[in-house]
Structure 1
Amino acid sequence: MENRFPDSGSRDRRKAALAVLPFLTLGLLDVVLLLGWGVDPLWGFAILPPILFVSVLAWIAFSSGFVGDHRT
């Protein structure tokens, strides 16, 4: 298939990164806060994989156009 928007690929990835960045930042700050409080480091690293997983899923959804590109 022919790509109708040849320049949109890099722009979509950038927009996706900007959309996911606040969530990822809050999640990483939460891990730092837990470790700073002196909580067992295992709890801090136990919540890190779900934060990263959801961030990657959101980035894929935004960059592929699955979210926000509904043309009817």
Structure 2
Amino acid sequence: MGTPVDADGSDEGPPIPTDDGDRDRRRAALYTLPFLALGVLNVVLVLGWGLEPLWVFAMLPPVLFMSVLTWVAFKSGFVTDREEY
């Protein structure tokens, strides 16, 4: 198969997006950091209340998973792509 051809006959593809990876990573970290801090603070509170440390192992993985998921969503532009609609 050949290269796609536009209606006007040119064989140019879609424009290449600019790579603002550094800015996107920083913005993603700034948006994710409060949620991560709240989750870690919650874990510290549970330990401070004297509950069994087993609860920390039950709470920490979801906090970390959601923080990483949030960071990836903001970094990849998934969130900003949906703002137009």
Aligned match of 1:4: 17
Q: Which of 51, 56, 59 is the equivalent residue of 2:68?
A: 56
**Structure number with larger C-alpha Rg:** 2
**Does residue 45 of the first structure (1) align with residue 39 of the second (2)?**
no
Which segment is superposed worse, 17-26 or 61-70? 61-70
Structure 1 residue 66, shift from structure 2 partner: 0.3
**Does residue 23 of the first structure (1) align with residue 22 of the second (2)?**
no
Q: Which has the higher helix share?
A: 1
Q: Percent identity?
A: 61
Q: Which has the higher contact order (CA 8 A, sep 6+)?
A: 1
Runs (5+) with no aligned partner, structure 1: none
RMSD, aligned CA? 1.7
**TM-score (normalised: structure 1):** 0.87
**Structure 1 segments of 4 or more deviating over 2 A?**
1-4, 69-72
**TM-score (normalised: structure 2):** 0.75
